[in-house]
Amino acid sequence: MKLNKTRRLSLVEQVTTQIGSLIESGQWRVGYRIPAEPLLVEELGVSRNTLREAIRALVHSGLLKTKPGDGTFVISSSVLGVALQRRLKESNLLEILEVRHALERETALLAAVRHTSTDIEKIKLNFAECEESALVKDYATFIEADIKLHKSIVKAAHNQLLMDLYEQVAESIQLSIGNMITNYQPIPHSKLVNAIIEKNSEGAAAAVDEYIQQFKDRIQAATEDQQ
């Protein structure tokens, strides 16, 4: 068996690892503006050049983004998330729907069994926002409310890994929702919400199956119209 010689991490690698750990642990959340360079230099005990090289590496990996004159911000919670987002951008709408189906069906099943009273209040609030915005045909607000509703259902499943995965694909899911209501009415989620409230896991899963199939039917209809 051949073993590779061990090596000490360079200062740049150490700084990159420390900052990456802060991001992946959630201490520095997505959207957070990281501390100013002088403060980080002092806290880490490294030179400005070392810090800047580490920041460049994290920007290149997709965890950070530097906005000139504004600062450097966390834009992804993990390298896995960056890879998923890049892959989703290469996927077609049907593939994204199939991923939605898998994630939302499982989280609906779990949410129906595991939800708390606090979870239900949040789900009801987001559902009411969906209903109100659909009623006045404010589709931009509907899309935002709809994704909040799905996130509240995912949270009610009480599975952190599912929450993390859903958060990473949420942007693509939001785009899929927008594409689906451009020429159609929004699909209501009353069956889904009621099934979760009633702790009817089979009904919740069936509701997801139903609205995903409606989305697929709309894709088929749009494809036929273009031919």
DSSP string, 149-186: HHHHHHHHT--HHHHHHHHHHHHHHHHHHHHHTSSSPP
By C-alpha distance, which of 123, 148, 135, 132 is closest to 204? 123
CA–CA distance, 124 with 94 (Å, rounded to integer): 29
List, for residues 205-227, the tens digit of each pLDDT value: 999 999 889 888 887 777 666 65
CB 187 within 8 A of CB 175: no
List, for residues 118-174, the tens digit of each pLDDT value: 999 999 999 999 999 988 888 888 888 988 999 999 999 999 888 878 877 776 676
- The pTM assigned to this predicted structure is 0.68
Domain count, the chain: 2
pLDDT beyond 50 at 6: no
Tell me which of 104 and 5 has the higher pLDDT.
104
Would 152 be classed as within a structural domain?
yes
Say whether both 133 and 49 belong to one domain.
no
CA–CA distance, 97 with 192 (Å, rounded to integer): 17
CATH of the domain at 131: 1.20.120.530
Determine the average pLDDT of the residues in 81-86.
66
Contact partners, residue 188, CB within 8 Å, separation at least 6: 130, 131, 134
* Whole-number pLDDT of residue 139: 84
SS3 call for 140:
helix
Instruction: Give percent of the chain with pLDDT exceeding 70.
Output: 81
| CA–CA distances in Å: residue 143 to residues 129, 182, 187, 210 | 10, 11, 11, 19
Say whether both 58 and 87 belong to one domain.
no
pLDDT beyond 60 at 90: yes
Provide the residue range defining the domain that includes 49.
11-76
List, for residues 180-208, the tens digit of each pLDDT value: 665 556 777 999 999 999 999 999 999 99
**In this structure, what token pair is assigned to residue 61?**
């990996």
Say whether both 58 and 96 belong to one domain.
no
**In this structure, what token pair is assigned to residue 113?**
């069994």
Question: Which of 67-81, 105-119, 129-143 reaches the highest mean pLDDT?
Answer: 105-119
Instruction: State the pairing for strand pair 64-67/71-74.
Output: antiparallel
Q: At what angle do helices 48-61 and 11-24 cross, to 10 degrees?
A: 50
CA–CA distance, 49 with 72 (Å, rounded to integer): 16
Determine the average pLDDT of the residues in 45-72.
91
Say whether both 30 and 93 belong to one domain.
no
